[in-house]
Structure 1
Amino acid sequence: MALNVPGLISVIVFYVLILIVGIVAGRKTARSKSRDEIILANRDMGLLVSFFTLTATNIGGGYINGTAESIAFDGLLWTQAPIFYCFSLAIAGLVYAPKMRKGGYVTMFDPFQLKYGRKVGALLFIPQLMSDLFWAASVLSALGNTVAVILDVNAELAIIISAAVAIFYTFLGGLYSVAYTDIIQFFFILIGLYLMFPFALHHEAVDLSRVSGTWLGSIQPGHVGLWLDVCFLLTMGGLPWQVYYQRVLACKDWRTARTASVMCAVASFVLSIPPMMVGVIASSADWNKTDYPTPNGQSQLPASERSATMPLVMQYLVPMPVSIIAIGTVAAAVMSSADSVILSSASVFSKNIYCDIIRPKASGTELVWVLRVSIVVCGCLATVIAVTAESIYGLFVLCSDLMYVVLFPQLTLVLWFRRSNSYGCLSGFFLSFLLRILAGEPLLKLPAAIEFPLYDPVYGQFFPFRTFIMLCSVVVIIVVSLLTQLVFTRGWLPARFDVMHCLRLRTIDFREAKEMEPMTGKPTEAPAKDGWTEDGAVADGVGDRVRLARSPPGDL
C-alpha cells in the first residue's frame, strides 16, 4: 500500500492546530512559578470547560479502538468497559467529587498523606503510576495502529511523534493547555465518530444479518463470576483516578464538579455508540468484497488483526475523505487522554513525593521545573510501553485492575472511615498487591501462583478474584485499624511502640487547615484535648499542640 499523502497532510495539520492551541492556552503559566497554577489552573474551571476536558479525557484511543475490537471479536456482553465506565463517572460525580472538592486538596493523594503521613501516602502512588502508564500506553498504541493501517506509516514512529506533541504542550502550559486542547479534541471526536459509521454501515460488503445471532455474544455458566468481576472492576476501579480528580479539584466549586461529572457520564455513553457499531460492522462484513487482503480467502477478520479493527474499517469500508477525518478523531481521542494522564502522574510526583518528602522547602520555581521534568519522564515511559503493547483492549481493562483491588478500598475508607490509620492502610495495601500478583496476569505473561476455584490452566482465573481481593483489603484495613487503636488506647502497648505516630495526632482536612491559616500562609496551631478526637486520633494530654497545616500530621 502506498503512502496516503492527503491523510498524512491532514494529520500534520491537526497536530499543528493542537500544538498552537496548547501553546496559546499555556501562555498563562509558561513563566509561572506556582506549581498549583499549573496543576489546577487556579481552581477556576467553569462548567463547560470542565465538561469538555473530562469527556475528552475519558474518550481515549483505548475507549474507541478497544470498544470496536471487543465488540467485533467478543460481542456486546463482553464489552463492559464503555458502559460501566459511564456508571463509574456518575458515581464519582455524585459521591466522591463533592467530598474531594470541598476538602480543597491539590491531588487525590493529599487525604492519604494528611491522615496517614507523607511516606505512607506516597506509597499508594505506585499503583496509580502503573495504571496511568498502562492507560497512556493503550491510547498511544491505538493511534499507532490506526496511522499504520490508513497512512501506511510506521506505527512506532506515529506513537513517538504523538507522544512528543502531547508532552511538549503539557510541559509548557500544564492543565490550562490540556483543558483547552481538550475542547478542540472533543469536537473532533464527536463529529468524526458520528460521521464515519453510517458510511461503513452502507458499504456493499456489510450485511448485518450475518451477525444477527452472534453480535450480542454469550456468557457461559462457568464464566459468570469473571464477567461480574470485570463489571465491578470497571465501575469501582474507575473511581480512584488522579486524572479525574485533577479536573474535579480545578473546578470553581463542588457543584460544578458534580454537574460536569454527570454530564460527562452521559456524553461518554453517547460517544460509545459509534465504536460499538463499528465493531458490529467489522464482524458482519465480507472482507473478500473489499480490497483488504484476507489470509486464505476467509471472509472475516483474522484474530491477528484484532487490535486493528477500527482502522481497518476506516481504511476499507468508508470513503477516503471520511477516513481522513476519522484519523483526526482517533488522534484527538489519543492526545486528549495521553496529555491528561502524563500530567496526572507528574503532578502527584512533584507535589506528594518531591515537595512533601524529598524537598519540603523547595522554592516555587524548583517545583515547577520538577513538575515539567516529571511530565517528560512519564511521557517517555508510556511511549515505551505503547511501542511494545499487544492488545489495546487488554491494556484498557488492565489499567483499572490495580486501581480496583488496591486504591478503591483505600480511597473510600480514608474519606469515610474515620478510624482508619496507617497500620490498616499498609496492611491492606501489601495484602491486596501481593494477592493480585500471585493471581497471575496473562497480558503480562505472569503465571498464577494461586489457583482460585474454577481456575483453568489455559484461560486462567474464572473466579471473581479481583473482587475477592478488594473485599479482603477492606476487611484488613478496618480490622487492623480498630485493633491497633484498641491496643494503644487501652494501654496494652506503650505509646513508644506506635512507630507510625498516627494515633497521637489529630487529623483534619485541608479545607479546615486553610481556613485556620493566617494570611501569611504559616501553619496554624491549636490546642488538642485529652483523649480521642472525633477523627479517631489521640492527643497526648492537656497543653499538647497539634499543627494544623497542609503537611500530613503523621510526619510532624
Structure 2
Amino acid sequence: MGGDYAVIGLYIVAMIGIGWYGLRLARTKSDYLVAGRRLGWFMYSGTMSAVVLGGASTIGGVKLGYTYGISGAWLVITIGLGILVLHAVFARRLVKLRVYTVGEMLDLRYGGSTSTISGVVMWAYALMLTVTSTLAFATIFKVLLDIPDAAGIAIGGAIVVLYSVLGGMWSITLTDIAQFVVKTIGIFALLLPIALTSAGGFDGLRERLDGSYFSFTSIGGGTIFTYVLIYGFGLLIGQDIWQRVFTARTPRVATTGGIISGVYCLLYGLAGALIGTAAKALYPDLASAQDAFATIAERLLPTGVRGLVLAAALSALMSTASGALIACSTVSTNDLLARFRARPLGVNANRVVTLVLGLVAIGIAMVVTDVVAALTVAYNLLVGGLLVAILGALFVRRGTRAGALASMVTGSIVVIVFMVTDGLEANEPIYYGLGASLVAYLAVSFATPRTPADVLARWTERLSGKAAQPEREGVAAS
C-alpha cells in the first residue's frame, strides 16, 4: 500500500498547509467565523456540498445501500432536498440579516434573550455532528494502517482540529474546496464505475440480489418520512449550515450556489447507494454493513487509486467535522460565553474555544460506536428542540418570545425522554418532540402579549436588507 500511503500523506500535508495559509486571512471575527462574508458562487456551492456530505452521507450512505439497495439513498436525498428548500426559500433573507448564529436571529425576531436556550440545543447538535464525522475516521485509518479505532479517531480528529483552529472559516472554506474536488473524483469518477463494473453492471446486480434491492421504497415509508423530518428539516435550521449561508457575498450568490449544491447532494446519495448495492453483490457476508465502504475500496481498487478514494472519504469526514466544529465554537462564544462578558470575545478566544471543543469531540468519538445513530441523536435534538421556534420566527407574526422558549424547552425534553425509552434509532422521539413543541409554541404565544411593534419593525427592516448590522469585529487578542 506504499502508493496509497503516499497519496494520503500528500493529502494530509496539503490540508494542514491550506489551514496554515488560512491563518493569514483570519484577522477579524468576521474572517474567522464567516470568511469575511466574501464567497462567490463556486466557492459557496463547493463548501456547502462539502459540509453536508460527511461521514454519515459517505460511510453511512454506502452502509444503507449495502442493507437496502438503492432505497438507501434516501438519507442523503433528504439532505439534498433540505439544501434545495433552504436556498430557494430562506437563503436570501438569512444573508440580509448579517448575524453569526441562529440564536442571534431568534433574539432579533422575538425581542429578548432566547439565544441561551437555543444556544444550548444548537451546541449539543453541533458537538454531536462533529463527533459523528470524527468517529468515522476509524473506518478509513483501519484500512490504511490497521490500527485500533481510537488511534484512527485521534489522527483524523487532530488534523481537523489543527486547521480549524488556525484559520477558522477561511481555512475550512479553502480545505473544503480541495476536499470537494477530491471527493467528486474519488466517488463519481473512480469508486462508482469500478464497483458497478466489478459487480457485472446492473444486469449482474439483478442476478445476484433480491428484487427489494431495486425498489426505491424498500427502506420503508416510515423511515423515509422520518428522514425528511430529521434531515430535510434539520438542514433548514442547523448552525453549521446557516453559518455557510452567512459566508455568501450576496443573496444571489447564496441562492445560485445553494441550488447547485442541492442537486450535487441528490446525485451523491444515488452514487453511495449504488456503491453499497454493488458491495452487497460482491461481498454478501460482511460482519458489519458499516464496513462496506472500506471493504470495497480495499479489495477492488489498485494501489494509488485506492489511496485517492480513501482520501475522498477522508475529505467527506473532514469537511463535516470542521464545519460542525466551527459552528459549535461560534455558538459557544456568541450565544453562551458572551453572556458572561461585557465585550465581544476576540479571535484568539475563538481559537481556544475551537481547540477545547475539538478535543472534547475526539474524546466522545472514542466511546461512541454507530455513526448513523449518533447523527440521529444530533438531528433529533435540533429538529425537536428548535424547528418550530425558528420557522415560527420566519412565518408566524403572532409568535412570541415566551412561546419560542416554551417550544424549545418542551420539544427538547420530549425528544430526550423518548430517545431514552424507545431507543436512539426509533422514529417516535422526533414525532412526539415536534408535536409537543408545536403545541407549546402556539398555546403560549396566543396566551401571552404580542411581540412589541418596534421589535417587529426592526426585524422587518433587517430582513429587507435596508438596515444591515455593522460587523462587530474581534481584535487579535481576547
> Is TM-score (shorter-chain normalized) higher than 0.5?
yes
Deviation at 1:375, TM superposition (A): 0.7
Change (3 A) 1:277 1:369: same
The partner residue of 2:186 within 186, 192, 214 is: 192
Asked if the contact 1:71/1:78 (under 8 Å) is kept, the reply is: yes
Residue in structure 2 matched with residue 360 of structure 1 by the alignment: 342
Aligned equivalent of 1:547 = none
CA contact (8 A) 2:131 2:362 kept: yes
Answer yes or no: is the 8 Å Cα contact 1:5–1:151 preserved in 2: no
Query: Which of these residues, 421, 424, 441, is aligned with residue 447 of structure 1?
Result: 421
- Given candidates 192, 213, 217, the residue that maps to 1:215 is 213
- Counterparts of 2:161 and 2:460 in 1: how far apart (Å)? 31
Cα distance in 2 between the residues matched to 1:468 and 1:243: 25
Which of 78, 81, 84 is 1:84 aligned to?
78
| Structure 1, gaps ≥5 residues long | 288-298, 441-445, 449-457, 487-501, 522-556
Partner of 1:328: 311
Closer, same or farther in 2 for the Cα pair 1:133/1:517, shift >3 Å?
closer
1:509 pairs, out of 459, 465, 472, with: 459
Q: Please, which of 292, 300, 304 is the counterpart of residue 317 of structure 1?
A: 300
Which 10-residue stretch deviates more, 333-342 or 7-16? 7-16
- Other-structure match for 2:105: 111
Secondary structure, counterpart of 2:448 in structure 1: helix
- What per-residue deviation string (whole Å, max 9, x for no partner) do you get for residues 384-425 of structure 1? 222222222222333322222111111111122222222111
- Choose which of 334, 341, 344 in structure 1 pairs with 2:327: 344
2:266 to 257, 266, 269: 269
Q: Measured at CA, do residues 173 and 416 of structure 1 come closer, stay the same or move farther in structure 2, by a change above 3 Å?
A: same
In structure 1, how many angstroms separate the alpha carbons of the residues matched to 2:426 and 2:86?
A: 29
Q: Is the 8 A contact 2:73 2:269 kept in 1?
A: no
Among candidates 61, 66, 70, match of residue 67 of structure 1:
61
Identity between Structure 1 and Structure 2 (%):
20
1:139, distance to aligned residue in structure 2 (A): 1.6
Equivalent residue letter for 1:158: G
Greater relative CO (CA pairs within 8 A, separation 6+): 2
Task: Please give the secondary structure, in 1, of the residue aligned with 2:438.
Answer: helix
> Is contact 1:93–1:261 with CA below 8 Å preserved after alignment?
yes
1:384 equivalent in alignment to 2:363 = yes
Which residue pairs with 2:251 in the alignment?
254
Paired residue secondary structure (1:106): coil
Alpha carbons of structure 1 residues 189 and 218: separation in structure 2 relative to 1, 3 Å = closer
**1:491-506 to 2 correspondences below 5 Å:** 506=455
Q: TM-score, normalised by structure 1?
A: 0.77
How far 1:372 moved relative to its partner? 0.9
CA contact (8 A) 1:69 1:393 kept: no
The number of equivalent residue pairs is 466
Q: Summarize deviations over 1:235-265 as a string: whole Å, max 9, x none.
A: 1122111111112112111111111111100
Cα 1:118–1:181 change in 2 (3 A) is farther
Distance 2:171 2:234 in 1: 27
Give the equivalent residue in structure 1 for 2:286.
301
Cα displacement (A) at 1:16: 0.5
Query: Deviation at 1:116?
Result: 4.0
CA distance in 1, matches of 2:460, 2:151: 44
Give the structure with higher Rg (CA): 1
Equivalent in the alignment of 2:139: 145
Per the alignment, residue 482 of structure 1 pairs with: 446
Unpaired runs of 5+ residues, structure 2, are 473-478
Shift of the 143–172 alpha-carbon distance from structure 1 to 2, 3 Å rule, reads: same
- Structure 1 residue 376, shift from structure 2 partner: 0.9
Q: What is the rounded CA distance, in whole Å, between the counterparts of 1:176 and 1:129 in structure 2?
A: 21
Aligned match of 1:466: 430
Cα distance in 2, alignment partners of residues 47 and 160 from structure 1: 34
Comparing both structures, which one devotes a greater share of its residues to helix? 2
**TM-score normalised by structure 2 residue count:** 0.89
1:399 to 366, 372, 378: 378
